[in-house]
A = this chain, B = another copy of it.
Amino acid sequence: MLAALIDGRSRTATELAYHAGVSPQTASSHLAKLVQARLLAMEAEGRFRHYRLAGPNVGHAIEALLALAGDGERYRKGPTKGIEPIRIARTCYDHLAGRLGVALTHMMVKRKLLKPSGRDFRLTPSGEKFLRKFGVDVEKAKHPRRAFARQCRDWTERRPHLAGALGAALAARWLELRWVTRVPEERYLIVTNRGRTALKGLFSIKPSDIFM
């Protein structure tokens, strides 16, 4: 299971059980021990529990052990030839996930436009102003029947991204501006050239952070 997490991304308990070829009970027992031993970190997301390596030290140790084990080749980080589109701008239900979603969220947190608060984000006054100026219908997103701004963590990235009604509204605006476009039958978006320009200008995000 540790080897399955070597790339630094999160996996759910069931995925890890499958990787290890053991029952969910057994995996649960091991995962609990690994968390207690501070080798893994766990974050609960609804009924899912996402596990990831607790730090780079753990990754180093696992890699060193895999190198000794000889079949480390299977797991060795190959020189990735570009990032798959699904990793760049994955859609998670109706909001932006993947590297794009994470980068946007990270930037907004860093600029104090969003504040992590429990399992949610809180939109600060300056954050509301920013999104309004950007054309997001913040008022409509304050729908009582849906969580407003939730933290979400999908399998492609370790850090959380913005979900909930606000996340959906932000994604809608990106689509409206044609900064991203849908790919029929696929669960990812493509960032357009205008989108790339906007990233650098409006969001101060280096494209290399997203496209590698």
Contact = CB atoms under 8 A, between A and B. Distances in A.
Interface of A: 39, 57-58, 60-61, 63-65, 67-68
16 contacts: A39-B68, A57-B64, A57-B67, A57-B68, A58-B68, A60-B64, A60-B67, A61-B61, A61-B64, A61-B65, A61-B67, A61-B68, A63-B64, A64-B64, A64-B65, A65-B65
The 3 closest A-B CB pairs, nearest first, are A61-B64, A64-B64, A60-B64
A63 B60 CA distance: 10
- Counting every copy of the chain, the complex holds 2
Contacts of A64: 57, 60-61, 63-65
A65 to B, nearest CB: 5
A contact patch SS: helix
Contacts of A57: 64, 67-68
> Which of A58, A63, A65 counts the most B-chain CB atoms under 10 A from its CB?
A65
A58 B68 CA distance: 7
A150 B67 CA distance: 36
Contacts of A68: 39, 57-58, 61
A13 to B, nearest CB: 22
A179 B60 CA distance: 46
Contacts of A58: 68
A159 B151 CA distance: 57
A61 B68 CA distance: 8
A60 B154 CA distance: 33
A60 B67 CA distance: 10
A67 B64 CA distance: 12
Nearest to A58: B68
